[in-house]
Every structure is written in structure tokens, then in C-alpha cells.
């Protein structure tokens, strides 16, 4: 018999919780295009349920949910080749999350570094959702029998936990879940703040010069790179202790495809000023088509809603298949129809 290989499931998501940065772009969304090839079947989610672990203004959350979907498409993802949907449109995420809570240990969740960071930043609102967040993320991934999860390096620990939960469940009930693997590019999995280059660039940073938004105007991009923190050396060189320059070289490399040594040769004999200008221009040029396409898409809400609707239908279908299996395995009586 002919050996027909099933396409590998790819799943990832972004929170609609702030203005997306070039960190989100280079660490995640930009890399998803390659999974449009026939051997993959990709699903991308706008994870609105994750976003409310931190207080959100409802009208902003709603607008940002449309924006993230528009950005997925503006960054080059083809809605015909990928399933895109909004997390809260698929109830199985919350349902599986409850079950998996009962297979996740308190100690495991206590060790999550993102929980520790976020609970420090939101000291007045350390809610149970913030603590439980990685279980919802594991549910997102496991519901779709995901093999590959393309993300930035800050999500590594959450993916490890999703694997552990899946293996623990499978050990008790047989092969219910595919064991997922994180996928990270060599470069750009951790873009750093332009102001404090030992810290991750984050969409929630209060210093607006610290991060570059995917939708920033050219002037703002140029200004931010011009002000980027570097060091007292003058040579464009990738080396230990040169965090600011290393970060700028990484960003430049991601946008141009050039290697670090090619970049070093290109800027030999030139100062940091010239280098920063070149990085700014390259980033602004690279993001311009994204911004233009984004604006067109945001003007067509009906189109975005048609994608959300179709995406949710497909996602519900896949997710419910896994959820029914899980319900059966744990011993729930099937719904009486």
C-alpha cells in the first residue's frame, strides 16, 4: 500500500495585549510562512483568553483582536493555506484546560519564570489565571495534535511543560496527545530592548524607545534606532559584552539574511552612527509593505470576520475531536443526544 504521510500540524499564537513589536515579528510571525508548504497543516490563533490574565480595556482588547488577525495576513500568511481563528471562539480550549489542570502540578506552575516575572510586574493582580496560563497554553497546543510550535525562546519553558503534561496523560490513558516540539530559528528568537539590551524587547515596555512596533511609522523607527543604546567601543562586531550591537546586528541579519561576518565586513571602518542608520532604514523598508497591507485589511472588517468565522469552524471541528477522546478516556458519560 502507498505510504501517504499525514501533514504535520503546526500551531502558534499571539496575545492581543499590546502593540506588536519586531520581537514578535522576527521571533514568531515572520517564520510561520515556511509552514505553508504541503507537508504542514498550520493553525494560528489570536489568544484573547490569555490576554485577560492581565487587566485589559475591553474595547481595546476587541480592536487588538482584529489587529492581530490582520497582522498575521499582512505579514504574509495566506488565509487559504492556514487556519486562523480567535481562541474564545473555540470553547474546547477552556474545557480541555480544566481537565489538564488536574494533570498539572502546583510545583510545576510555580517554577514558570514568566509567571514569576509577570506576578512581580502586576503585584496587585496576581490572579489564578496568571498562574494557570501555561495549562491553557498546553491545551491550545494539544487540542490540535500539534507536532511543531514555532515561537520565540521565551516560550520554551511553556512548551516543555505542555510536553510533560501530554506525556503524563498519555502514560495513564494511551496515545491521546501528539507530543509537540518547539521550533526556534537560529537568529531572532530573543530580540532585546533597544534601551536595555540585556532585557527582552516587550510589547508592554513603558519606555517607548525600547521597542519598535511592527506598525511604527518610518520616522519613529529611525528615531528609535538612532537612540539605541550601544557601547563605548566603535567597531561593529558581534562579541560578548556588546549586547546592544549584538542585538542590532541580529535585527539587521534577520531583515537582510546576511551573516554576522558579512555585516562586520559591510561596516568595517564605519561608525555606529552609520550602522544604526542602515538598520533603521532596512527595518523601515522591510515593514512598509506590512503596514500598507495592514491598513487595507483593517478597513475591511467583514473580510476579517469571514476569516475568523471559517477559522473557528475548522478549529472547533479539530478541537472537539480531541476533546471527545479526552472526555471518554477520563470517564465522562457522553452527552445524551
Burial-class residue 110 by CB neighbours within 10 Å (0-12, 13-18, 19+).
exposed
Output the smallest distance, CB 27 to ligand TYM, in A. Answer: 2
Which residue among the candidates 118, 224, 242, 276 is catalytic per the annotation?
A: 118
Which residue among the candidates 30, 200, 224, 242 is catalytic per the annotation?
A: 200
Output the smallest distance, CB 160 to ligand TYM, in A. Answer: 13
Output the smallest distance, CB 182 to ligand TYM, in A. Answer: 9
Buried/exposed code over 224-233 (b: 16+ C-beta within 10 A; e: otherwise)? bbeebbbeee
Nearer to ligand TYM, 66 or 267 (CB): 66
Nearer to ligand TYM, 190 or 321 (CB): 190
Nearer to ligand TYM, 11 or 255 (CB): 11
Nearer to ligand TYM, 13 or 197 (CB): 13
For the question of residue 270 being annotated catalytic, the response is no
What's the half-sphere exposure (Cβ side, CA atoms, 13 Å) at 318? 23
Nearer to ligand TYM, 139 or 267 (CB): 139
Output the smallest distance, CB 268 to ligand TYM, in A. Answer: 28
Which residue among the candidates 156, 203, 321, 329 is catalytic per the annotation?
A: 203
Q: In what order do the strands lie in the sheet with 8-14?
A: 82-86, 40-46, 8-14, 148-150, 181-183
Output the smallest distance, CB 217 to ligand TYM, in A. Answer: 21
Output the smallest distance, CB 241 to ligand TYM, in A. Answer: 20
Nearer to ligand TYM, 93 or 276 (CB): 93
Burial-class residue 80 by CB neighbours within 10 Å (0-12, 13-18, 19+).
exposed
Contacts to ligand TYM by CB under 6 A: 11-15, 23-24, 26-28, 47, 50, 137, 140-141, 149, 151-152, 154-155, 158, 189-191, 200-201
* 11 closest CA partner among 27, 37, 30, 35: 35
For the question of residue 118 being annotated catalytic, the response is yes
For the question of residue 200 being annotated catalytic, the response is yes
Residue nearest to ligand TYM (CB): 27
Cα–Cα dist 203/32, whole Å? 20
User: Would you name the residues annotated as active-site residues?
Assistant: 118, 200, 203
Amino acid at each position: 500500500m502507498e505510504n501517504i504521510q499525514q501533514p504535520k500540524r503546526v500551531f502558534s499564537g499571539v496575545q492581543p495585549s499590546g502593540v506588536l513589536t519586531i520581537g514578535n515579528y522576527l521571533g514568531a510571525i515572520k517564520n510561520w510562512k515556511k509552514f505553508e508548504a504541503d507537508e504542514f497543516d498550520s493553525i494560528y490563533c489570536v489568544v484573547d483568553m490569555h490576554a485577560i490574565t492581565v487587566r485589559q480595556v475591553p474595547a481595546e482588547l476587541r480592536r487588538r483582536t482584529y489587529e492581530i488577525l490582520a497582522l498575521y495576513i499582512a505579514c504574509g500568511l495566506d488565509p487559504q493555506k492556514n487556519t486562523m481563528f480567535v481562541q474564545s471562539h473555540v470553547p474546547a480550549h477552556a474545557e480541555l484546560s480544566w481537565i489538564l489542570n488536574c494533570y498539572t502540578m502546583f510545583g510545576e506552575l510555580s517554577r514558570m519564570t514568566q509567571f514569576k516575572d509577570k506576578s512581580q510586574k502586576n503585584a496587585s493582580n496576581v490572579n489564578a489565571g496568571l498562574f494557570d496560563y501555561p495549562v491553557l497554553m498546553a491545551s491550545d497546543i494539544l487540542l490540535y495534535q500539534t507536532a511543531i510550535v514555532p515561537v520565540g525562546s521565551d516560550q520554551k519553558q511553556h512548551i516543555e511543560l505542555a510536553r510533560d503534561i501530554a506525556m503524563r496523560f498519555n502514560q495513564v490513558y494511551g496515545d491521546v496527545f501528539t507530543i509537540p516540539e518547539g521550533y526556534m530559528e537560529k537568529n531572532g528568537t530573543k530580540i532585546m530592548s533597544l534601551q536595555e539590551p540585556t532585557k527582552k524587547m516587550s510589547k508592554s515596555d513603558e519606555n517607548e524607545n525600547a521597542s519598535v512596533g511592527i506598525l511604527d511609522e518610518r520616522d519613529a523607527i529611525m528615531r528609535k534606532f538612532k537612540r539605541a543604546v550601544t557601547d563605548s567601543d566603535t567597531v561593529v562586531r558581534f562579541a560578548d559584552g556588546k549586547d546592544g550591537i549584538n542585538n542590532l546586528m541580529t535585527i539587521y541579519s534577520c531583515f537582510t539574511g546576511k551573516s554576522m561576518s558579512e555585516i562586520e565586513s559591510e561596516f568595517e571602518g564605519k561608525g555606529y552612527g552609520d550602522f544604526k542608520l542602515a538598520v533603521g532604514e532596512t527595518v523601515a523598508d522591510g515593514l512598509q509593505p506590512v503596514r500598507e497591507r495592514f491598513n487595507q485589511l483593517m478597513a475591511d472588517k467583514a473580510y476579517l470576520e469571514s476569516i475568523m468565522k471559517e477559522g473557528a469552524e475548522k478549529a472547533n471541528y479539530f478541537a472537539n475531536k480531541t476533546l471527545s477522546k479526552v472526555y471518554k478516556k477520563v470517564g465522562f458519560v457522553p452527552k445524551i443526544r
